[in-house]
Structure 1
Amino acid sequence: MNIENIGQPFLKKFPGDFSNNPTQRNTPKVLFATIKPAGFDHPQLIAFNETLSEEIGLGKFEEKDLNFLVGSQLPDNIQSYATAYAGHQFGNWAGQLGDGRAILAGEITNATGKKTEIQWKGAGATPYSRRADGRAVLRSSVREYLMSEAMYHLSVPTTRALSLAFTGEDVIRDIMYNGNPRYEKGAVVIRTAESFLRFGHFELMFAQGEHKLLQDLLDFTIENYFPEIVSSDHQKYKDFFENVCIRTADLMVEWFRVGFVHGVMNTDNMSILGLTIDYGPYSMMDEYNLNFTPNTTDLPGRRYAFGKQGQISHWNLWKLANALQPIINDEKFLESTLNNFGVYFWEAHDKMLCKKFGFDGLRKEDEDFLTNWQGIMQELELDHTLFFNQLEKITPDTDLKEYFSPAAYTVLNEEKLRKLEDFIDQYQSRLQSNTISREESLELMKTTNPKFILRNYLLYQCIEEISNGKTEMLTKLTQALENPYQELFPEFSVKRPSNYDDTAGCSTLSCSS
């Protein structure tokens, strides 16, 4: 790989701590601290994303590159570092946080001029590890590697994964925070993104009263990652905030489209570029439930439940607005922009749902239809993905009980079946009023509704196999996630088997990774 071409513009632009000290501490008035990865003597490659490597300009993998993939034996051109940020966690101010398990190598530029940041996750402690070891376990690394790529191929904005490797170490973790720690295999994943800047980076500068550094960070972000902003003076900061609001709303709509639940939407886990970032206790939706959260640490409040993701992103944007106020210096503008967020989000959300149903557009009367649909989905415990797949092939003669039972997590008794029949009648009536052909309607559905989603039970099976030295399922899942709008493997297009309903690390998840 062309790792000698990795540059480090962030280090040259901003003040940092160059002590290479991994001890947990506050680092005021700096945006990063240099830190060397722990280094691992016996790494073993599990997976490498050759296509991504070529796309971003790193080129082909050679055996000698394995050490780089786990952060060992770095070339002289790389001064690795971790960034400092702050954040609101579960609604409470948490103060200084930072890259506790992530270490940046720098930035690579490909032949077209596109820049990509490269980051190890699980390569050792940093000043921001908060008394943790900075390592990562296999299960969380597999989940990040596969899911970030699955989201990319679903056309959802996301960070991406370059490689996955065993470190050769065992790491102790208490997976459910219940006093039962155990050793697990350690791993490192390299993830990439245009930038890993978060809401929390701006919150930290505001909290420390570093307004000049805050403005410098804004200028850097706009110049490097928002080429569409061509305004000058203070107007560019307003345009920036409006753009972040739109990107965030669009991301939430995409999460709702594919049934993704992040699980821990703290402000430090929110990308300033509108990317899905930090794949922790996430889940793809099985049975439709607006109140579903995969994160056991989010119980009982369910702050980050599926149906609340738009609301929480709005709340997080309020916190970002507060951090940017000293630079934008226009409270009425910020309030107006935030108020417009809800209007924009819900209209975009409903338009997206109409595409999933194959409608020609959003009409006023569709609002009641969509509300009714949500109620039917929850009451009948219908699988989010399978329901829409079945809907594409439905005919007036379809036996609804036989047809939808494989997509239901409950028995469709007479009462529930009657409600489903009434809803399908409403749907068929709405389709008949479409101003587009049935072929065009089906094309909308097929390009909006995935045939394959990376369900937690599939990830669980894959992690178990990799732990036992097998990679057949990893290969198969990779093929499926790269073609999510095709049904390459029908055995993956089924609802979650009941034996996984309460399996730790499958249906019940935590942040312990």
Structure 2
Amino acid sequence: MNIEQIKQPFTDIFPGDLSDNPMQRNTPKVLFSTVKPAGFNAPERIAFNADLAEETGLGQYEEKDLDFLVGNNLPENVKTYATAYAGHQFGNWAGQLGDGRAILAGEIINKDGKKTEIQWKGSGATPYSRHADGRAVLRSSVREYLMSEAMFHLGVPTTRALSLAFTGEDVVRDMMYNGNPQLEKGAVVIRTAESFLRFGHFELMSAQQEYKTLQDLADFTIKNYYPEITADGIDKYKQFFENICTRTANLMTEWFRVGFVHGVMNTDNMSVLGLTIDYGPYSMMDEYDLNFTPNTTDLPGRRYAFGKQGQISQWNLWQLANAFHPLIKDEKFLEDTLNQYGTYFWEAHDKMLCRKFGFDRLRESDEDFFTNWQGLMQELQMDYTLFFNQLEKLNTQSDIKSLFERVSYVILTDQRVKKLEDFTRKYEARLLSNTISKEESSELMRSANPKFTLRNYLLYECIEEINIGKTEMFEKLTKALENPYLELYPEFSVKRPAAYDDTTGCSTLSCSS
């Protein structure tokens, strides 16, 4: 790989702590600290994303590159660092946080001028580890590697995964925080993004009243990642905030489209580029439930439940607006922008649902249709992905019970079948009002509704296999997630087996996951 081309523009611009001290501590008035990866004696490659490596400009993998996958024996040009940020966690101000188990190598620019940041996750402690060890375990690393790539191929803005490797050491983790710590295999993921800048980076500088650095950070972000912004002065920062709002709303719409539940939407886990970032206790939706949260830490309040992700993103943007206020100094603008966010998001959300149902455009009556559909989905516990796959097969000769019973998590009684029949009649009537052809309607559905989503039980089975040295399922899942709108493996297009309903690490996850 061409790791000699990695540069550190971020550290060249902003104030930082250059002490190479990994001990946990506060680092006021700085945005980063230099820190070296821990170093691992017996790394072993599990996966390498050759297509992504070529795209970023890193080039082909060679055996000599194994050390780089875990941050060992780095060349002199790679000056590694971790960034400081703050955040609101579960609605409460948490103060200084930062990259607790993520260390940045810097960025590389490919032949087309595209910039990509490269970051190890799980490569050791940083000043921001908050008394933790900065390591990552195999299960969380596999989940991040596969899910970030799955989201990319689904068409959802996301960070991506370059490699996955064993570290050769065991790590102690209390998986469910219940006093039952165990040794688990350690691993490191190299993840990439155009930038890993978060809401929390701006929150930290604003909270510390480091307004010059706050402005410099905003200017840096606009110059490097928002070339469409051409205004000057305060208008530049207004456009910046508006664009972040738009990107965030679009991201939330995509999460709803594919049935993704993040599980821990703290402001420090929100990207200012509108990317899905930090794959912890996430889940793809199995049975449709607006109140579903995969994160045991989020119980019983369910702050980050599936159906609340739109309003929580708006709440998070309010916190970012507070951080931006020293730059914009216009309360009415910020309030108006955030109030408009809700209108924009719900319109985008409903237009997205139109595509999933094959409707030509959003009509006033569709709001009632969608509301009734949501109630039916919850009552009949329909599998979110499989329901739309079956809906594509609906025709006037369909036996409704036969069509949908394989995608429901409850028994379809006569009364429930009657409700489905009523719904499908209304759906077919709505399709008749389309101004597009039946084939165009079907194509809308095919492009909006994946045939494959990376369910937690599949990840669980995959992790169990890798733990005993098998990689067949990992390779099969990789191929399936690269082609999510095709049904390559019919055995993956089934609802979650009942055996996994209460399996720790599958149906229930913690922030350790």
TM-score (norm 1): 1.00
**Separation in structure 2 between the aligned mates of residue 300 and residue 508 of structure 1, nearest angstrom:** 13
1:317 alignment partner in structure 2:
317
One-letter amino acid of the structure 2 residue matched with residue 43 of structure 1: P
1:257 partnered with 2:257: yes
Structure-to-structure mapping, 1:279-318, within 5 angstroms: 279-318=279-318
1:132 alignment partner in structure 2:
132
Deviation, 1:233, is 1.5
How many residues matched? 513
1:94 alignment partner in structure 2:
94
1:504 alignment partner in structure 2:
504
1:56 partnered with 2:42: no
- Structure 1 runs not aligned, ≥5 long: none
2:401 alignment partner in structure 1:
401
Structure-to-structure mapping, 1:467-486, within 5 angstroms: 467-486=467-486
1:375 partnered with 2:366: no
One-letter amino acid of the structure 2 residue matched with residue 321 of structure 1: A
Any idea what the Cα deviations from partners look like across 1:2-33, whole Å, max 9, x if unmatched?
00000000010001000000110000010000
Any idea what the Cα deviations from partners look like across 1:150-203, whole Å, max 9, x if unmatched?
000000000000000000000010111111110000000000000000000000
1:220 alignment partner in structure 2:
220
Deviation, 1:415, is 1.4
2:466 alignment partner in structure 1:
466
Deviation, 1:145, is 0.1
User: Secondary structure, in 3 states, of the residue corresponding to 2:245?
Assistant: helix
**Separation in structure 1 between the aligned mates of residue 156 and residue 403 of structure 2, nearest angstrom:** 30
Deviation, 1:136, is 0.1
Deviation, 1:397, is 1.5
One-letter amino acid of the structure 1 residue matched with residue 14 of structure 2: F
**Separation in structure 1 between the aligned mates of residue 183 and residue 393 of structure 2, nearest angstrom:** 48
Structure-to-structure mapping, 1:7-406, within 5 angstroms: 7-406=7-406
One-letter amino acid of the structure 2 residue matched with residue 363 of structure 1: R
Any idea what the Cα deviations from partners look like across 1:234-291, whole Å, max 9, x if unmatched?
1110000000000000000000000000000000000000000000000000000000
- Structure 2 runs not aligned, ≥5 long: none
User: Secondary structure, in 3 states, of the residue corresponding to 1:139?
Assistant: helix
**Separation in structure 2 between the aligned mates of residue 120 and residue 466 of structure 1, nearest angstrom:** 20
Deviation, 1:486, is 0.3
1:453 partnered with 2:439: no
Any idea what the Cα deviations from partners look like across 1:46-79, whole Å, max 9, x if unmatched?
0000000000000000001010110000000011
**Separation in structure 1 between the aligned mates of residue 247 and residue 482 of structure 2, nearest angstrom:** 24
Deviation, 1:489, is 0.4
One-letter amino acid of the structure 1 residue matched with residue 258 of structure 2: V
One-letter amino acid of the structure 2 residue matched with residue 365 of structure 1: S
Deviation, 1:305, is 0.1
1:2 alignment partner in structure 2:
2
1:420 partnered with 2:425: no
**Separation in structure 2 between the aligned mates of residue 433 and residue 332 of structure 1, nearest angstrom:** 41
TM-score (norm 2): 1.00
**Separation in structure 2 between the aligned mates of residue 396 and residue 378 of structure 1, nearest angstrom:** 25
Any idea what the Cα deviations from partners look like across 1:417-463, whole Å, max 9, x if unmatched?
11111001100100111111100000000000000000000000000
One-letter amino acid of the structure 1 residue matched with residue 325 of structure 2: Q
**Separation in structure 1 between the aligned mates of residue 451 and residue 308 of structure 2, nearest angstrom:** 25
One-letter amino acid of the structure 1 residue matched with residue 299 of structure 2: L
One-letter amino acid of the structure 1 residue matched with residue 68 of structure 2: F
Any idea what the Cα deviations from partners look like across 1:309-332, whole Å, max 9, x if unmatched?
000000000000000001111111
**Separation in structure 1 between the aligned mates of residue 383 and residue 396 of structure 2, nearest angstrom:** 21
User: Greater CA deviation, 50-59 or 224-233?
Assistant: 224-233
Deviation, 1:403, is 1.2
Deviation, 1:376, is 0.4
**Separation in structure 1 between the aligned mates of residue 83 and residue 297 of structure 2, nearest angstrom:** 25
**Separation in structure 2 between the aligned mates of residue 354 and residue 234 of structure 1, nearest angstrom:** 38
Any idea what the Cα deviations from partners look like across 1:464-513, whole Å, max 9, x if unmatched?
11111011001100000000000000000000000000100000000114
**Separation in structure 1 between the aligned mates of residue 158 and residue 359 of structure 2, nearest angstrom:** 28
**Separation in structure 2 between the aligned mates of residue 503 and residue 329 of structure 1, nearest angstrom:** 50
Deviation, 1:90, is 0.1
User: Secondary structure, in 3 states, of the residue corresponding to 2:233?
Assistant: coil
One-letter amino acid of the structure 1 residue matched with residue 104 of structure 2: L
Deviation, 1:401, is 1.0
**Separation in structure 1 between the aligned mates of residue 30 and residue 429 of structure 2, nearest angstrom:** 61
Deviation, 1:386, is 0.2
User: Secondary structure, in 3 states, of the residue corresponding to 1:209?
Assistant: coil
**Separation in structure 2 between the aligned mates of residue 407 and residue 488 of structure 1, nearest angstrom:** 18
User: Secondary structure, in 3 states, of the residue corresponding to 1:189?
Assistant: strand
**Separation in structure 2 between the aligned mates of residue 443 and residue 161 of structure 1, nearest angstrom:** 30
**Separation in structure 2 between the aligned mates of residue 107 and residue 397 of structure 1, nearest angstrom:** 57
Deviation, 1:413, is 0.7
Any idea what the Cα deviations from partners look like across 1:352-390, whole Å, max 9, x if unmatched?
001000000100001100000000000000000000000
**Separation in structure 2 between the aligned mates of residue 252 and residue 109 of structure 1, nearest angstrom:** 29
User: Secondary structure, in 3 states, of the residue corresponding to 1:136?
Assistant: coil
Deviation, 1:128, is 0.2
Deviation, 1:402, is 1.4
**Separation in structure 1 between the aligned mates of residue 435 and residue 224 of structure 2, nearest angstrom:** 43
Any idea what the Cα deviations from partners look like across 1:94-133, whole Å, max 9, x if unmatched?
0000000000000000000000000000000000000000
